[in-house]
Amino acid sequence: MKSLKWPLFNLHFWSCFLDLSISILVQPFICSSAVYLAGFSIGLLHNLGVSNEAICYIGVFLINGRPRIKNNHTENVEAVAVAIVSIFENRYFLIAARRTWWRYARIPVLTANYIVALIYFIPTLMNVPEQTIARKMTFEVKEQGRNKQIYFLDVS
């Protein structure tokens, strides 16, 4: 089990940081509509003046999954996915792949997983809709929260 110590610590660190960021730092308030995924932060980062774009990027990087709307709440299916994949990769390597080609490919593959986790959401952040138009379309669907500073994403 000594070989699993660091991957388990990695998973524990990222999952604890995810829990702390959702419960204290971000505290997202999701406003689901028929048009956009929208919401705002009521957490510590918002009170410290961090921009909505940065808060959204931090949340998606930690969760590492596309938010899916189901029953008026979001489901994050792939929470802390890279750390979980690294645990399974570690077990696979120690059980079956020590003397195969995988011993050369494992570090580049895990590095690529972390790089993809860092950059895969950037195109979505570059394609954020015009906030006034998105706000108007959302409030035509739902007439609540007009005075809040809501940040809209187009996840379609």
Q: Return the pLDDT at 123.
A: 81
Tally of CA atoms within 13 A in the half-sphere of 143 that contains its CB: 0
| pLDDT at residue 124, rounded to an integer | 78
Count of structural domains, the chain:
1
pLDDT at residue 129, as a whole number: 77
pTM of the model: 0.69
In whole angstroms, give the CA distance from residue 74 to residue 108. 32
Q: Which domain holds residue 37?
A: 4-154
Instruction: Tell me phi and psi for residue 155, to 5 degrees.
Output: -105, 20
Q: What is the pLDDT of residue 154?
A: 60
How do the pLDDT tens digits run along the chain, 156 residues long? 788 898 898 888 888 888 888 888 888 887 766 556 777 888 898 889 988 888 887 777 776 544 444 443 333 334 477 888 889 999 999 999 889 999 999 999 988 888 887 777 788 778 877 878 877 776 665 555 555 566 666 655
- The predicted pLDDT at position 101 comes to 94
CA distance 7 to 88: 9
Q: What pLDDT shows up at residue 108?
A: 94
Query: What local confidence, expressed as pLDDT, does residue 105 receive?
Result: 93
Q: Is 145 left (phi over 0), alpha (psi -120 to 50) or beta?
A: left
Which positions ≥6 away from 51 have C-beta within 8 Å?
none
The confidence score (pLDDT) of residue 67 equals: 44
For residue 146, give the H/E element and its range. Answer: none
